[in-house]
Amino acid sequence: MITKEKEVSEQNENVGSTSKIKAYYELLKFRLSFLVAFSGAFGYSLAVDKIDWWKIVLISLGGFLITGAANIVNQIKEIELDKLMKRTQNRPLPTGRLSVKEATIFGVVMFLLASYILIFEFNIKAGALGILSFILYGFVYTPLKRVGPISVFVGAFPGAFPPMIGWVAATNHFGLEPGILFAIQFFWQFPHFWAIAWVADEDYQRAGFKMLPNNGHKDLRTALTMMIYTIFLVPCGFIPHVLGMTGFNSAIVAVLCGVLFLSQTFYLMSRPTDKAALMMMFGSFIYLPIVQIAFLMDKI
């Protein structure tokens, strides 16, 4: 009898441990953090003549950890708001699967590890950019989401830093090259964010988030604003070739992807519906990795 009770107790402990691990995993927003890690590795790979795979692992890990830490700050500050939205109400903090103290300790450890990697394994400039992105996302962008669409402008900076961090980590200097990598990802942020905000508008309104431009209306004016930012992606896609960073083939791919992405904004303008915005949201998910992979393949 005692043996059976002990077995049940051990099973419960194992289930509890597994649940905790899963909760910590969810806290990271793994897919978002992974995409940032990929963008950082992309910027680093584009900057070097010969790839050092250990450095690729380190820059990816640094980007992943700093993003995870920023995501944790975001979720700690928005616990009560996350409870109001369907898409976030089952996160670890609103459900109580993790406490604020546990999340804070986890976030601090990740931030310190990321800072160490970026500063001491690479350079102070890369570390400063990483820390700046953490501050902007966690402590500026997050509270501004209830103020107005200015939050999207602020959030576009940390969102566009990863490839620049990768380049600066490899070269230890700023310039036109990391600048254009930043610009591509910066302008991409606006149609990406606003397409998501359009689709999730009802949920966002429950939490008081004001993400959409033009007083938050899902109409032609908002679609036009999205088009204006998207149009910059077309010439930006060609500039890396002009700067000698990549070849002509990837420039054509980037410009073509920019034109196709832009065409989605025209469709949204003609039919300002949730369905059209959803299509554009998926288009934004596809655009960036295709362009980045094309640049890398052309360099190889």
Residue 238: both structure tokens together: 């060609």
pLDDT at 215: 82
Residue 73: both structure tokens together: 């700050």
Q: Residue 284: which residues within 8 A CB-CB, separation 6 or more?
A: 188, 191, 192, 195, 261
Flag whether pLDDT at 278 surpasses 90: yes
Flag whether pLDDT at 9 surpasses 80: no
Residue scoring higher pLDDT (13 or 283): 283
pLDDT at 4: 52
Interatomic CA distance for residues 198 and 112, integer angstroms: 35
281 and 195 Cβ atoms separated by less than 8 Å? yes
pLDDT at 214: 85
Task: Specify the residue for token string 């950082």.
Answer: 40
Flag whether pLDDT at 141 surpasses 50: yes
Minimum mean pLDDT among 18-32, 105-119, 159-173, 257-271: which range?
A: 18-32
Flag whether pLDDT at 216 surpasses 90: no
Q: What's the chain's average pLDDT?
A: 92
Name the maximum alpha-carbon separation found in the chain.
77
What would the mean pLDDT of 124-133 be, rounded to a whole number?
97
Length of the chain: 300
Residue 263 pLDDT grade (very low, low, confident, very high; cuts 50, 70, 90) = very high
pLDDT at 1: 53
What does pTM read for this prediction? 0.91
What would the mean pLDDT of 261-286 be, rounded to a whole number?
96
pLDDT at 3: 55
pLDDT, tens digit (0-9, with 9 covering 90-100), for 38-68: 999 999 999 999 989 999 999 999 999 999 9
Q: Residue ranges of the domains in the chain?
A: 1-173, 175-300
Top-level CATH class of 1-173? mainly alpha
Interatomic CA distance for residues 215 and 41, integer angstroms: 37
24 and 143 Cβ atoms separated by less than 8 Å? no
Flag whether pLDDT at 160 surpasses 50: yes
pLDDT at 10: 46
DSSP 216: G
Percent share of the chain, pLDDT over 70? 94
Task: Specify the residue for token string 């708001």.
Answer: 81
Residue scoring higher pLDDT (298 or 287): 287
Residue 192 pLDDT grade (very low, low, confident, very high; cuts 50, 70, 90) = very high
Interatomic CA distance for residues 184 and 20, integer angstroms: 38
Sign, Cα dihedral of 159, 58, 134, 70? positive
